[in-house]
Amino acid sequence: MYYQISFPDRLKAFFSSRSALPKLILINVGIWILIRFLGVFAFLFSSPGGDPSLALFSFVMRWLAVPAEIGQILGKPWTIFTYMFLHIDFFHILFNMLWLFWFGQIFLQYLNNRQLVFTYISGGLAGAVFFILFYNLFPVFSNSLPVALALGASASVLAIVVAIAFRVPDYTIYLLLIGPVKIKYIAIFSVIIDFFMIRSGNAGGHIAHLGGALWGFLYMRTLSKGIDMSLLFSGFRISGISKLFRTRKKSPFKNVYTSDKPMTDDEYNFYKVKNQEKIDQILEKIKRSGYDSLSREEKEFLFSNSRR
């Protein structure tokens, strides 16, 4: 049976799922909205001719963006973490979240939530380290070193892009006006562009991107050898990050067939029939009572099957 889910319903199902991906997006967007919200209030209570929202944005960047100067980092060590969730400009967060949404979904087709969160955070940390090292090692940055700041999820996102491109290099997506493109070429092109853009006005950002990309490659390289560094998150309890992104395993929608052995044709056909029966039941419920009548588990089940 052919079925189609509308875009608003797909969006509802995505953000109501227990996946780590919508949580990462919501954290980034939530912080951006909060900053812009406070900026509006700062503007409304300002005197005529003044705009204290600019001072607010400067304050936020000073305390949450990662500085290049080592002395400043020692006084604000948390910034190597907070910077990867911080955005000020609309288009900055828009493009970062779109890339995170697109490539995060591909990532989760082959790897798990823990590995996604690990790649995001460790890729962001690698980007911060690259940014700090480059600005302190190369003399061309000496004049801007005291005031240089880095912010945004770009390093984390590029780590995810490169990681999944290394994992499934021939995975093909369709780009508007271009057609089918393998994601390995998208990753390679992104890295090359960032390298040549170091000479631009946003050198720090592009250097951080390269750090995230290198980490995504190294993580997948070690994972291919059977070493999963994301298991470090299994015992991490200090800030509750692992608990925040942990997904519940209990669900009324049990797998019809679970086995370590490959399915035979008969078993696969049986699985397909049972799976379609569940889908038909859910679609009938939507027809009778609307999408909002579905339980969280039904929404998750429908959304996961709509991507296959």
| Tens digits of residue pLDDT in 135-181 | 999 999 999 999 999 999 999 999 999 999 999 999 999 888 888 99
What are 215's two structure tokens? 């980490």
Lookup: tokens for 162: 């490169």
Sign of the Cα torsion 232, 233, 236, 239 reads positive
Q: Which residue from 104, 101, 102, 132 is spatially nearest to 118, judged by alpha carbons? A: 104
Maximal C-alpha separation, the chain: 75
Query: What value does the mean pLDDT of the chain take?
Result: 83
The answer to whether 69 and 84 have CB atoms below 8 angstroms apart is no
CA angle 279, 282, 285 (to 5 degrees): 150
Higher per-residue pLDDT: 143 or 307: 143
How far is Cα 42 from Cα 197, in angstroms, rounded to an integer? Answer: 35
Task: Determine the 3-state secondary structure of 245 from DSSP.
Answer: helix
Distance, CA of 222 to CA of 232 (rounded, Å): 14
Kindly report, residue by residue over 53-67, the tens digit of the pLDDT: 778 888 899 999 999
Mean pLDDT check: name the lowest of 16-20, 72-76, 147-151: 16-20
Residue with tokens 């994601």: 183
Contacts of 248 by beta carbon, 8 Å cutoff, 6+ apart: 18
Name residue 241's amino acid.
I
Query: What is the helix (H) or strand (E) element at residue 118, kind and residue range?
Result: helix 113-137
For the stretch 191-194, contacts whose Cβ atoms lie closer than 8 Å and that sit 24 or more positions apart, written own/partner, are 191/158, 191/162, 194/158
Q: pLDDT tens-digit profile of 88-138?
A: 999 999 999 999 999 999 999 999 999 999 999 999 999 999 999 999 999
Higher confidence at residue 252 or residue 78?
78
CA distance 67 to 70: 8
Q: What is the pLDDT of residue 260?
A: 42
Binned at pLDDT 50, 70 and 90, residue 46 comes out as: confident
Which pair of tokens denotes residue 202? 């946003």
Give the predicted TM-score (pTM) of the model. Answer: 0.75
Instruction: Supply the pLDDT for residue 259.
Output: 42
Q: What is the pLDDT of residue 175?
A: 85
Q: What is the pLDDT, as a whole number, of residue 97? A: 96
pLDDT for position 116 = 96
Q: What is the pLDDT of residues 244-294, one digit of tens each?
A: 555 554 444 444 444 444 555 555 555 666 777 777 777 777 766 666 666
The residue extents of the domains of the chain are: 19-245, 265-306
Contacts of 5 (CB under 8 A, 6+ apart): 13, 302, 303, 306
List pLDDT tens digits, range 205-251. 999 999 999 999 999 999 999 999 988 876 554 344 545 555 554 44
pLDDT of residue 4: 58
Does residue 117 or residue 200 have the better pLDDT?
Answer: 117
User: Is the torsion defined by CA of 62, 63, 67, 72 positive or negative?
Assistant: positive
3/45: higher pLDDT: 45
To the question of domain 19-245 being in CATH 3.20.20.140, the answer is no
Q: Spell out the residues 6+ positions from residue 26 whose beta carbon is closer than 8 angstroms to its own.
A: 15
